[in-house]
């Protein structure tokens, strides 16, 4: 299958690109190369005959039309987005522009292309979204997000993603575009840009800097190893039912404080300090405005219908991740100079 992946130079998109190539698909990676992108994430496939790269912005309709006509893909996997909640608090305009308007342009370009191809039933537009569209859960472990949970986004980021989900469903219903959607929990793993919690903690720990915990660290997230997510996404794309959405989660709920303590324990074992524990560097900082208390995914549908389940526990995935950052300083060191990295963002509200 020839797949046009948007956002394929980002964290999750690049995992999808690498896995799709390894599984014998052809991939066209369309990415604007924003601050969050890194072509080093796909360097290992860059010379592969089944891989092509197009630098383009999903808000540029003419470029989208050109790229779709040039490559004639069988499917679009849409991951390009502004993705950092803290940045969405400081600058919501970019989030509405890329995540909402950009998705609109991509849908329209895909509709024109698909119509021009004679509306093939097997074409797919797979929209990759987040569990944050469902809002914030109470602590009760029996309550988790299902595909039927009402939308209740609470940050500019999640509101923009919710809007894009609605657009994709509308293009499916109104124009018959063959869409499929997925909403996943927090990803982590290799190639994670060093502004998100897990890489920040690993790299600050190694640099002897404070490990920032927002508020009391009681906020709970459901952690999903990025390579498990990429596997689930290819399954949804190739076997998901038309018009259906699938929640993808790792069944690994942890409070932020527990997660950071686990990371410190792994670092203490793999890369011990001269004295003391990395946990001594934990520092509680002002909470994020509107910080959602808990996210947790019920992944029953994708398990029952597509046979997917995560391959690693959070402890296994975190250990692999820490080892990867220890072994790949050449990858992360240059990213520390990018705009906003290492600064506290999202507290201007
Ligand atoms: N990271 C997570 O934990 C998580 C969880 C749930 C859902 N998601 C969703 O998965 C997708 C990928 O997330 P990620 O963490 O890999 O994001 P990321 O920020 O690492 O990568 C996003 C990529 O999109 C590109 N991009 C941004 N704006 C663009 C534009 N206007 N035109 C073209 N390309 C553009 C960037 O250059 C970057 O390569 C996003 O849609 C995000 O909402 C992420």
Centroid of chain to Cα 85: 12
Report the pLDDT value the prediction gives residue 184, as an integer from 0 to 100. Answer: 97
Q: Which residue has the tokens 């940050």?
A: 155
> What is each CA distance from 207 to 21, 125, 217, 333, in whole angstroms?
35, 42, 21, 11
CA distance 132 to 163: 12
CA torsion, ordered 112, 113, 114, 117, to nearest 10 deg: 120
Q: Is residue 247 within 8 Å of residue 146, measured between CB atoms?
A: yes
- Check whether 338 has a pLDDT greater than 90: no
CA torsion, ordered 197, 198, 199, 205, to nearest 10 deg: 100
103 located within any domain: yes
Distance 268 CA to ligand 1 centre (A): 31
As a whole-number percent, the residues of the chain with pLDDT over 70 amount to 99
129 located within any domain: yes
The kind and range of the H/E element at 128 are strand 124-130
Query: How do residues 8-49 score in pLDDT, each as one tens digit?
Result: 999 999 999 999 999 999 999 999 999 999 999 999 999 999
Residues 85-114 have a mean pLDDT of 96
CA distance 50 to 213: 42
Mean of the per-residue pLDDT values of the chain: 96
Distance 55 CA to ligand 1 centre (A): 15
Nearest CA to ligand 1 atom 1: 187
194 located within any domain: no
Q: Which range, of 202-211, 307-316, 335-344, averages the lowest pLDDT?
A: 335-344
CA distance 302 to 310: 11
336 located within any domain: no
Q: Which domain holds residue 135?
A: 2-189+223-251+296-312
Give me the catalytic one of 51, 113, 157, 325. 157
Burial of 313 per CB tally in 10 Å (0-12, 13-18, 19+): middle
Nearest CA to ligand 1 atom 26: 80
CA distance 325 to 199: 8
Residue 157 annotated to the active site: yes
Report the pLDDT value the prediction gives residue 346, as an integer from 0 to 100. Answer: 81
Ligand 1 interacting residues, C-beta cut-off 6 A: 6-7, 9-13, 31-34, 36-37, 57-59, 79-83, 98, 102, 128-130, 161, 184, 186-187, 193
Q: Which residues contact 291 (CB under 8 A, 6 or more apart)?
A: 214, 215, 219
State the number of CA atoms in the 13 A half-sphere of 327 facing the CB.
9
Nearest CA to ligand 1 atom 22: 10
154 — pLDDT class (breaks 50, 70, 90): very high
- Check whether 349 has a pLDDT greater than 70: no
Q: Which residues pair with 211 in a beta bridge?
A: 282
36 located within any domain: yes
* Best mutation site among 6, 53, 61, 80 for ligand 1 pocket (most ligand atoms within 8 Å of CB): 80
Nearest to 78 by CA among 164, 1, 150: 164
CA distance 20 to 38: 18
Report the pLDDT value the prediction gives residue 348, as an integer from 0 to 100. Answer: 64
- Check whether 328 has a pLDDT greater than 90: yes
Residues 161-189 have a mean pLDDT of 98
Let me know the angle formed at the C-alpha of 194 by 160 and 50, rounded to the nearest 5 degrees. Answer: 75
Query: How do residues 123-139 score in pLDDT, each as one tens digit?
Result: 999 999 999 999 999 98
- The helix/strand/coil state of 102 is helix
Q: Is residue 4 within 8 Å of residue 30, measured between CB atoms?
A: yes
- Check whether 86 has a pLDDT greater than 90: no
- Rounded to two decimals, what is the model's pTM? 0.97
> The domain spanning residue 246 has which CATH number?
3.40.50.720
Count: domains in the chain: 1
Q: Is residue 58 within 8 Å of residue 103, measured between CB atoms?
A: yes
* Nearest atom (ligand 1) to Cα of 193: 20
Q: Which residue has the tokens 């021009």?
A: 116
Distance 99 CA to ligand 1 centre (A): 9
Strands 75-78 and 124-130: what pairing? parallel
Report the pLDDT value the prediction gives residue 337, as an integer from 0 to 100. Answer: 87
Query: How do residues 286-306 score in pLDDT, each as one tens digit?
Result: 888 888 889 999 999 999 999
45 located within any domain: yes
- Check whether 205 has a pLDDT greater than 90: yes
**DSSP secondary structure letter of residue 275:** S
Report the pLDDT value the prediction gives residue 341, as an integer from 0 to 100. Answer: 83
Residue 94 annotated to the active site: no
Query: How do residues 230-282 score in pLDDT, each as one tens digit?
Result: 999 999 999 999 999 999 999 999 999 999 999 999 999 999 999 999 999 99
180 located within any domain: yes
110 located within any domain: yes
Report the pLDDT value the prediction gives residue 250, as an integer from 0 to 100. Answer: 93
Report the pLDDT value the prediction gives residue 131, as an integer from 0 to 100. Answer: 96
């Amino acid at each position: 299958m020839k797949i046009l992946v948007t956002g394929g130079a980002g964290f999750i998109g690049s995992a999808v690109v690498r896995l799709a190539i390894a599984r014998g698909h052809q991939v066209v990676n369309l990415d604007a190369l924003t601050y969050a992108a890194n072509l080093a994430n796909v360097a290992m496939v860059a010379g592969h005959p089944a891989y092509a790269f197009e630098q383009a912005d999903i808000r540029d309709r003419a470029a989208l039309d050109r790229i779709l006509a040039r490559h004639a893909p069988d499917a679009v996997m849409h991951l390009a987005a502004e993705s950092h909640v803290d940045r969405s608090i400081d600058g919501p305009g970019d989030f509405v522009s890329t995540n909402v308007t950009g998705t609109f342009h991509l849908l329209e370009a895909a509709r024109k292309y698909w119509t021009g191809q004679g509306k093939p039933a097997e074409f797919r537009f797979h929209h990759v979204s987040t569990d944050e569209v469902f809002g914030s859960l109470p602590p009760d472990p029996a309550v988790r997000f299902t595909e039927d949970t009402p939308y209740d986004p609470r940050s500019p980021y999640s509101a923009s993603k919710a809007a894009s989900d609605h657009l994709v469903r509308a293009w499916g219903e109104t124009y018959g575009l063959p869409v499929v959607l997925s909403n996943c929990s927090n990803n982590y793993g290799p190639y994670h840009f060093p502004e998100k919690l897990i890489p920040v903690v690993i790299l600050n720990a190694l640099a002897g800097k404070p490990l920032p915990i927002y508020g009391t660290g009681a906020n709970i997230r459901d952690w999903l190893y990025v390579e498990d997510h990429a596997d689930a996404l290819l399954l949804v794309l190739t076997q998901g039912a038309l018009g259906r959405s699938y929640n993808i989660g790792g069944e690994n709920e942890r409070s932020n404080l527990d997660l950071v303590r686990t990371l410190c324990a792994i670092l203490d074992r793999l890369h011990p300090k001269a004295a003391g524990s990395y946990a001594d560097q934990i520092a509680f900082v002002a909470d994020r405005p509107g910080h959602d208390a808990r996210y947790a995914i019920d992944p029953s549908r994708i398990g029952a219908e597509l046979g997917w389940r995560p391959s690693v526990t959070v402890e296994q995935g975190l250990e692999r991740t820490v080892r990867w950052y220890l072994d790949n300083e050449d990858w992360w060191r240059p990213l520390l100079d990018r705009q906003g990295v290492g600064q506290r963002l999202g507290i201007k509200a």
